[in-house]
Amino acid sequence: MSFANLKKQSSLGSLTSKLVKEVEKMNNTSSGGDDRLWKPEMDKTGNGYAVIRFLPAPEGEDLPWAKMYSHAFQGPGGWYIENSLTTAGGKDPVSEHNRELWNSGNEADKDTVRKQKRKLSYYANIYVVQDKANPQNEGRVFLYKFGKKIFDKVMESMQPEFEDETPINPFDFWQGANFKLKLKKVAGYWNYDSSEFDRVSPLLDDDDALEALWKKQYSLTALTATDQFKSYEQLEKRLKMVLGQKQAPARYDEETNDEDNDRSSYAPNFSSRQPQSELTEDLKTELNNLGARSEVSADRDEDDALSYFQRLANE
């Protein structure tokens, strides 16, 4: 750029606009944000409320959700935040390491395994009916990442426990139901126990509009496609660094850290790809909560994980 052009752009103010856009891009990249993902927010009182609608399977796909296993734990060499290759039935270095620890017969090693166990998450397409915290999201299609607690509520709506309850397909445009997501803090952690499905009703009364929404949905099978995961060798290298078995690089290495997770991104892959020293405060809090929950959680997924390790021990 010549000096004359530099002066010309200065008078037009175009450089300022360009720099602001670049900063916004940097902020979005460093926070691991992905505008396809929707997330509820709490208000100043520590509560959160939104109404969403789970959407059918995308065109050409069989299931309206995708299942993902991941690991998130801290070691002497930093955080390990990665999706697990066991999601697609493959071998994963953390699972193999955990199996060795479990087989040692040492209770301290088993405690370590519990902290490093797989975490199960689900992804689904949703339509945001109401989001007062971010009203610009209303009427739009997003991907939503949720845990076993909400997935259990989805399953309970399809297979109710009591005879006086009518089963529904919560992913149906016409015979489904809105989901009232009620969020509060219990013992310092986010709690969804009060969330519930509303009465059965069509999402919209216009089939053409519904078809347009359906075509806006994101592929779910793409989230767990083989090319969305780091290789066994890359994960093993990262694990060794985290466990202090190998010196971590002095600077951020794009090859080994690739791009992010949200604990969250895909084709953009959901694996953590930002330098561990640059974790956002939200992510740090979430990861700390995750570590604490792995010790105190009474959810069934912890039992599932322990039986998983027991099966590994018997192999």
Res. 309: pLDDT tops 90: no
pLDDT in tens, 247-257: 544 433 333 33
In a domain, 98, yes or no: yes
- Select the more confidently predicted residue: 30 or 144: 144
What confidence category does residue 265 fall into, taking pLDDT thresholds of 50, 70 and 90? very low
What confidence category does residue 307 fall into, taking pLDDT thresholds of 50, 70 and 90? low
d(CA 262, CA 270): 7
Instruction: Report, as an integer, the average pLDDT of 226-234.
Output: 95
Residue 267, domain extent: 33-314
In a domain, 26, yes or no: no
Q: Which two tokens stand for residue 90?
A: 């493959």
- Residue 205 CA: distances (Å) to CA of 80, 89, 125, 201, 211: 46, 41, 19, 10, 11
- Select the more confidently predicted residue: 127 or 7: 127
In a domain, 281, yes or no: yes
In a domain, 22, yes or no: no
Q: Which two tokens stand for residue 84?
A: 């697990």
Window from 102-106, 198-202, 255-259 with minimum mean pLDDT:
255-259
Show Cβ contacts of residue 34 under 8 Å, excluding neighbours closer than 6 positions.
260, 262, 264, 265, 266, 268
Q: Which two tokens stand for residue 63?
A: 């299931």
Instruction: Report, as an integer, the average pLDDT of 143-149.
Output: 95
Q: Read off the pTM.
A: 0.71
pLDDT in tens, 272-295: 433 443 455 555 555 555 444 444
In a domain, 237, yes or no: yes
- Beta strands 119-130; 65-75: pairing state: antiparallel
165 DSSP assignment: S
Question: Which of 150, 121, 116, 86 lies closest to 295, judged by CA?
Answer: 116
Q: What is the mean pLDDT of the chain?
A: 80
End-to-end CA distance of the chain: 65
In a domain, 125, yes or no: yes
Neighbours of 205 (CB within 10 A): 9
Question: Is 32 within 8 Å of 272 (Cβ atoms)?
Answer: yes
d(CA 59, CA 225): 17
CATH code, domain with 108: 3.90.198.10
The number of distinct structural domains making up the chain is: 1
Window from 65-74, 100-109, 201-210, 240-249 with minimum mean pLDDT:
240-249
d(CA 218, CA 134): 21
- Coil, helix or strand at residue 187: coil
Return the pLDDT at 275.
40
What confidence category does residue 221 fall into, taking pLDDT thresholds of 50, 70 and 90? very high
Show Cβ contacts of residue 228 under 8 Å, excluding neighbours closer than 6 positions.
83, 222, 266, 267, 269, 270
Q: Which two tokens stand for residue 220?
A: 């779910």
